[in-house]
Structure 1
């Protein structure tokens, strides 16, 4: 259904460092920069892009929005969470773990405040 997700970042280099580490823990390579200074994580399942807002205004996070990343195991979720916290992310919600719905999940806020999660169904 989705071709890509693009999120705004106020400090694009801090966001790249965070996502390189967090997504690296899930087995994805580092971002590739385009001529406009945006960063792209290209996978067979879709693309995540980081950009400074083109209107020149500060980037803000979506209140109530969450971007979820698929993980291959609970251990990968834990590694994603640890890598994110170690690279500028902030833990939010409950600690990583099994939820009542049978999913193993962890939540973070990235350096720009976007709420993201990693989960293993």
Structure 2
């Protein structure tokens, strides 16, 4: 569905450390810094961290969440722990199972160093 996702970051090195750690748990290579951006290339799309082009401070979107599809609950937990150990902060409820309109899920939420809200998601089936 998406060709790329770009998130604002105020400290590219701190954000790279955080995303390298959480994405490594999912089997992705470390990002590559090019100028004011850190780029993660995957077979299905590109994930980019960038300082805002307008030169202003990067801020998170109120109501925005970026979800990562994860293959099992254990990896969701490892993803969450890697984020906490590398500059992320916990938000929402603790990691665990949820039942609701979207079905039976295992979720974990983090905020990255710039405050962007992330969700590690496994659909329980």
- Could you tell me the TM-score, scaled by structure 1's length? 0.96
Aligned residues, how many? 120
Match of 1:112 in 2: 114
Give yes or no for the alignment of 1:5 onto 2:5. yes
Residues 91-102 of structure 1 correspond to what in structure 2 (within 5 A)?
91-100=90-99, 101-102=103-104
Query: How much has 1:60 moved relative to structure 2?
Result: 0.3
Counterpart-to-counterpart distance in 1, 2:107 and 2:44: 19
CA RMSD of aligned residues (A): 0.8
Query: How much has 1:45 moved relative to structure 2?
Result: 2.3
Match of 1:73 in 2: 72
* Structure 2: runs of 5+ lacking an equivalent: none
Give yes or no for the alignment of 1:84 onto 2:83. yes
Counterpart-to-counterpart distance in 1, 2:67 and 2:43: 16
Counterpart-to-counterpart distance in 2, 1:97 and 1:72: 14
* Structure 1: runs of 5+ lacking an equivalent: none
Query: How much has 1:72 moved relative to structure 2?
Result: 1.1
Query: How much has 1:47 moved relative to structure 2?
Result: 1.3
Query: How much has 1:54 moved relative to structure 2?
Result: 1.1
- Could you tell me the TM-score, scaled by structure 2's length? 0.93
